[in-house]
Structure 1
Amino acid sequence: MEIVTNNCAALSNYEVLKHLQVIKDSKRKHKGQLATITYETLRYLENTPVGEQTSDSIRECMKSLSAFNLNKTELLMIINSPPITALEIQLIVEDSEERLSEDQVQQILVILANHFPHIVKEQSDNDNEEAPE
């Protein structure tokens, strides 16, 4: 088998979710493995932070993050799984200690909290559940 046209692009979880919703809502019903994969993937994605994202919030967040010279892969990882701590940013951004100051890391966290307020709410809910009584 030969690849005639090489189309290589990375999709965000939001884009995958929207595409799968279109497949699910189409009049043409799919059977077998495609239906199962579509159902299971939709169920998973709807229970992650991507279920609360909008195309506008992602677009505005990307514009705000453009000042930090993050590469496409790092931006995709940040959008797919928005970090809520400085440690998570260090794990996502390669050589973050050299590329970002502590103030810049805090600015990124503020930007993410502004554009994706649901992640801050989820974190506070998790902290309340883990607190010993």
Structure 2
Amino acid sequence: KDANAALLSNFEVYQLLTDLKQRRKESGKTKQGSGQQNLNTIMYETLKYISKTPCRYQSPETVREFLVAMKDHKLTK
């Protein structure tokens, strides 16, 4: 198993991408290579899609509460 591999919820992806977007905006970096442009497109499209889902309104607390509530059901990933 890869120690760096993990499953992320939609909420975690949304939170990560919005944080990255904000940091880039604050840093003011505009010079980009072609690889960076591809990454920007992926980030934009992912954020556009995921912003239309309920995860946009979730918080770390609600996700934690949900996971605790589901623990007794012994669901698999």
For Structure 1 versus Structure 2, the TM-score category normalised by the shorter chain is 0.7 to 0.9
Query: Structure 1-normalised TM-score?
Result: 0.46
Structure 2 partner of 1:49: 54
Q: Structure 1 unaligned segments of length 5 or more: list them.
A: 74-133
Report the Cα offset of residue 18 of structure 1: 0.8
Structure 1 partner of 2:45: 40
Report the Cα offset of residue 29 of structure 1: 3.6
2:7 match: secondary structure: coil
The CA RMSD measured in Å over matched residues stands at: 1.8
- Picking from 6, 9, 15, the partner of 1:12 is 9
- The count of aligned residue pairs is 68
Instruction: Give the residue type in structure 2 aligned to 1:33.
Output: N
Distance 1:69 1:20, change over 3 A: same
Q: Structure 2 unaligned segments of length 5 or more: list them.
A: none
1:50 match: secondary structure: helix
The whole-number CA distance in structure 1 between the counterparts of 2:15 and 2:28 is: 17
Structure number with the bigger relative contact order (C-alpha 8 A, sep ≥ 6) is 2
Instruction: Give the residue type in structure 2 aligned to 1:42.
Output: L
Query: Structure 2-normalised TM-score?
Result: 0.75
